[in-house]
Amino acid sequence: MQIQTNIDDHRIAKLAAFAIALHMVEAVVPSPLPGVKPGIANIVTLYVLLQYDFATAAWVSILRVFASSLLMGLFMSPTFALSLSGALVSLSVLWVAQYLPKRYFSVITLSILAAFAHIAGQLIMVRLWLIPHASVAYLIPIFSVAALFFGLINGLITARLLYNKAQKPEPDITEPKPG
Amino acid sequence: MLSLLHSPKPTFRHLLIGDWFTIISCAIIIVFLFQTLWSHEHAAKVQIRIGDKIYAAYDLNQQRDIILHGPIGDAVIHIEQGKVRFVKSPCHNQYCVHQGWLVHSGQVAICLPNQISLELIGKQKPYDSLNY
């Protein structure tokens, strides 16, 4: 049996592979507090959102969550659930935030909002399922600081990547078809 | 005007006015979160339980010793201008005495052998992690 794939599928697969690689690299990096992570895989999601469209970004993000959890053997574990809830809330915020006026709000705002949405999604999951206790609220300020810090850095990196891409657009197969 | 756009730090020129707005409002929200969620409110009262009953609640704005009659003997607690501690206890391990001063609302000292517990209460009761 042969599944028919088009150029969009190839592009999504290629970009998702990037995101998975970044996710795996990050998984090795030790973290001072469980849950506080740079989230460098989100750079790919943001880049795709700005360069292509929301649907591609959503595909890349969700594929990244599933594939990297399978690779690390954490599929259907709490880690996976946190990752998925973070990604889903993050995507829904990005879906709204993409309509912000581009003249005033760059990808850096999107990155910060996505980072906050990510921890919000994770904390909701933690509160409802893993640690159903109000003391989870004590962690919110720490996670918020991490979200602002890493969201800003990821946003700056993404902005730089998009800027470089705009300066010298190189023709590759991932370029969307005209029309 | 153009020279401003070509600032020496190339990374930060990507920040638009709305981005600064986002960063500053997020920072304000974070400060607000720290203040509301990490507030260490000074306690107003100490609630004393002996056995399974609430024995008494004393105001902390005073200086006095209170003798409590527990199941294994008399314990002494000392209240001093906003803080409270076990001074003497008939229990074996003296954990309650070694815990020292309780200052913030929500803090507790428990003497299990003597079934006496002190809990500091603020104006509003914080999360109760004991009953959970």
Question: Does B127 map to a domain?
Answer: no
Asked if A132 has any chain B CB less than 8 Å from its own CB, the reply is no
Q: Is residue B130 helix, strand or coil?
A: coil
Q: Which residue has the higher pLDDT, A106 or A173?
A: A106
- Do B86 and B117 reside in the same domain of the chain? yes
Instruction: Assess whether B75 and B116 both reside in one domain.
Output: yes
Nearest Cα to Cα of residue A125 among A97, A83, A160, A67? A83
B128 within domain boundaries: no
Domain membership of residue B113 (yes or no) is: yes
Question: Based on the domain organization, do B117 and B53 belong to the same domain?
Answer: yes
**B26, B55: one domain:** no
Question: Is residue B59 situated within a structural domain?
Answer: yes
pLDDT at B129: 53
Task: Determine contact: B37 vs chain A, CB below 8 A.
Answer: yes
Residues in a beta bridge with B119: B47, B108
Number of domains observed in the structure of chain B: 2
What residues of chain A lie within 8 A of the CB of B22, using their CB? 105, 108-109, 112-113
Give the pLDDT mean for A63-84: 92
CB contact under 8 A, B19 and A101: no
CA B85 to chain centre: 15
Asked if residue A77 has pLDDT above 70, the reply is: yes
User: What are the E-state strand segments in B4-103?
Assistant: 45-50, 53-59, 63-70, 73-80, 83-88
Within a domain: B55: yes
Per-residue pLDDT of chain B (132 residues; tens, 9 = 90+): 444 444 445 567 778 999 999 999 999 999 999 888 887 667 788 999 998 888 989 988 889 999 999 889 999 999 998 889 999 999 888 888 998 898 887 788 888 888 898 888 876 655 555 554
Co-location of B55 and B80 in the same domain: yes
CATH number at residue B59: 2.60.320.10
The domains of chain A, with CATH numbers, are 7-167 (1.10.1760.20)
CB-based burial, B32-48: b 16+ in 10 Å, e otherwise = ebeeeeeeeeebebbbb
Q: Residue B106 has what pLDDT?
A: 76
User: For residue B125, what pLDDT is reported?
Assistant: 55
pLDDT at A88 over 50: yes
In a domain, B132, yes or no: no
Q: Is residue A112 within 8 angstroms of chain B, CB to CB?
A: yes
Q: Are residues B60 and B116 in the same domain?
A: yes
Chain B contacts of A134, Cβ < 8 Å? 127
What pLDDT, on a 0 to 100 scale, did the predictor assign at position B3? 44
Q: Which of residues 90-129 of B touch A (CB under 8 A)?
A: 127, 129
Q: Which of A101, A113, A144 sits opposite B33 (nearest CB)?
A: A144
CB pair distance less than 8 Å for B33 and A138: no
Contact (Cβ atoms closer than 8 angstroms) between residue B110 and residue B117: yes
Chain B residues inside the 8 Å CB shell of A135: 127, 129
Closest residue on chain A to B26 (Cα): A148
Task: Give backbone dihedrals phi and psi of A132, rounded to 5 degrees, phi first.
Answer: -75, 70
Shared domain for B117 and B86, answered yes or no, is yes
Chain B closest-CA separation from residue A122 CA (Å): 17
What ipTM score was computed for the predicted complex, to two decimals? 0.83
Q: Are residues B49 and B32 in the same domain?
A: no
B59 three-class SS? strand
Domain assignment present for B65? yes
Residue B33 counted as domain residue: yes
d(CA B71, CA B116): 9
Residues B18 and B72 placed together within one structural domain of the fold: no
Q: Residues B28, B60: one domain?
A: no
Integer Cα distance of B113 and B130 in angstroms = 17
Q: Is A135 on the interface with B (CB under 8 A)?
A: yes
Which residue among B10, B16, B26 sits closest to A112, beta carbon to beta carbon?
A: B26
Phi/psi zone of residue B73: left (φ > 0), alpha (ψ -120 to 50 degrees), beta? left
Edge-to-edge strand list for the sheet holding B116-121: B53-59, B45-50, B116-121, B108-111
Q: Which two tokens stand for residue A59?
A: 């595909």
Residues B117 and B88 in one domain: yes
What is the token pair recorded at A70? 């399978």
Average pLDDT over residues A22-45: 87
pLDDT at A16: 94
Q: Which structural domain, as residue segments, surrounds residue B84?
A: 45-121
B111 and B68 both lie in a single domain? yes
